[in-house]
Structure 1
Amino acid sequence: MSKNARNKNARKANALTQREIAWGGIAFYAVIGLVAVVAIGFTFMQTRSSADSPSVAGLVTKDDLGREHVSGTVAYDTSPPMGGDHNPVWQNCDGRVYDAPLQNENAVHSLEHGAVWITYRPGLAAAQLDALTNKVTGIDYTMLSPYPAQDAPIKLTAWGHQLSLDDASDPRVDEFLRGFVKGPQTPEPGAACDGAKDTP
């Protein structure tokens, strides 16, 4: 083979083997793919239904709750409310024990953030109140307060979910807390539960 032919073949081989990688195109499609994955994940989180929520005996659920920020009072159809339109300021729910009733509209905002609100009818036995206090104290996304108008000694409420109980030692207290503190019912996962309203 002549020297010219060898040089020509070498140039052809070099042209094929030294092709540059199109990093711009790869980066573009990688970003598009990442955006698509994030969008699908966010949509999934926002559309989880109550069917994904834990099953607790005696649980009452409510769907299609409003989520508007409003001023003034809201006429809720359950006591305590399970969700709905609410005050723009949430009630601090970072393991708080309140000794007076809370404003419904602030507490409902906390439910939207993933809190569980434990309420009790005034006059609950001291031992039972102590047990509920121990369940809440220092546990983020929980709060405890009296609720004079409720029809059961104890109620546990999360967004769209409520459980009525007669006794603080009922094992369903722990079941409810495990299932609903920042659970799948949460309309605004990751939203804060402190730094807002600190008093009843």
Structure 2
Amino acid sequence: MNEKKATTRPPERRGISKSKIRAERRQRAERKKKIRQSFIISGISIFAILVIASLVIPGLIGTRSTANIREPLPFNAGGPTKALDDQGNQKILVGSSHVPYSTKPATSGPHWAIRPDQNDLAKYGSPVKWGKYDEEIPDEALLHNLSHGGIGIHYDCENECKELIRKLDKLRAGDDKQIVLSPYSGMKSKIALTSWRHVQYLDDFDESAINEFIKAYRDRAPESWIGNYWGDAIQ
């Protein structure tokens, strides 16, 4: 004669029908399923937010945007000045040694690539933001701007030259796309215009000559593109 097996249910569960137990199991399974789905949806949402942030934030903080990158215009070996020898487009560490530049200011050669305020030698970064500066910027930083198709306008005055600076800044402000205006000591003339592998020296302010230089050589460099790594023009 077969004997009934002793129940293994805890006392509080005894007397509950099998159908109710199965229903409770289904409910627990449904709750677990919903929890798993919530984790999956949350993970997908977080991933989507990170992807969107990676696309949007760089544009907000001035980092390089693929929308701004374009093929550079062909290098202009002609124009108002003779093309200089190419000293390369190598990126180097701030403070490291390199071959001497062939001109003052430099127009090609090794240069830095660094964000602003990360090194005392390059406090404005490299490339620097386009705009006007009241203190000298190292060649190693300026060259990065030239490699992006920018134009440098530099002045060297023994005495006060407020009027010259005012005229140069007015010209720059009227066409502030990819232009850096800053002092530069030790030049062989009062004014120097620079682009990638081109330099023009002027003894006095000549608006037509400056505009001709800008038109001939802006945006004709190895890495020409709108803006730069760390932001747009400063005023």
Displacement of 1:166: 1.1
CA root-mean-square deviation:
2.7
**Cα deviation code 1:18-66 (max 9, x no counterpart):** xxxxxxxxxxxxxxxxxxxxxxx96xx58x3433x5x11xx24213221
Matched residues, number: 149
What SS does the aligned partner of 1:163 have? strand
Per the normalisation by structure 1, the TM-score is 0.65
Distance 1:88-1:175 versus aligned 2 partners, 3 A rule: same
Residue 126 of structure 1 corresponds to which residue in structure 2?
A: 162
User: What letter corresponds to residue 102 of structure 1 in structure 2?
Assistant: I
**CA distance in structure 2 between the partners assigned to 1:79 and 1:131 by the alignment:** 22
Unaligned runs of 5+ in 1: 1-40
Instruction: Select between 65-74 and 154-163 the one with higher mean Cα deviation.
Output: 65-74
Q: Does the residue aligned with 2:167 lie in a helix, a strand or coil?
A: helix
* AA aligned opposite 1:161: H
- 1:97 and 2:132 are equivalent in the alignment: yes
The residue number in structure 1 matching 2:104 is: 79
Is contact 1:86–1:105 with CA below 8 Å preserved after alignment?
yes
**Cα distance change of structure 1 residues 135 and 93 upon mapping to structure 2, 3 Å threshold:** farther
For 1:1-200, what aligned pairs fall within 5 Å after superposition?
Answer: 48-51=74-77, 53=78, 55-56=79-80, 59-71=81-93, 72=95, 73-74=97-98, 75-89=100-114, 90-94=126-130, 96-122=131-157, 123=159, 125-137=161-173, 139-182=176-219, 184=220, 186-190=221-225, 192-193=227-228, 195=230
Output the amino acid matched with 1:76.
Y
* Counterpart residue type for residue 171 of structure 1: S
Q: Which moved more, 1:77-86 or 1:187-196?
A: 187-196
Secondary structure, counterpart of 1:61 in structure 2: coil
| CA distance 1:124–1:170, change in 2 (3 Å) | farther
Q: Partner of 2:52 in structure 1?
A: none
Q: List per-residue Cα deviations over 1:113-171 (Å, max 9, x = no partner).
A: 01100110033632221110112126020011111111110000000001000111352
Tell me, in whole angstroms, the C-alpha distance in 2 between the residues paired with 1:107 and 1:134: 21
Q: State, as a whole percentage, how many aligned pairs show the same letter.
A: 24
Q: Judging changes above 3 Å, is the alpha-carbon distance between structure 1 residues 191 and 169 closer, same or farther for their aligned structure 2 residues?
A: closer
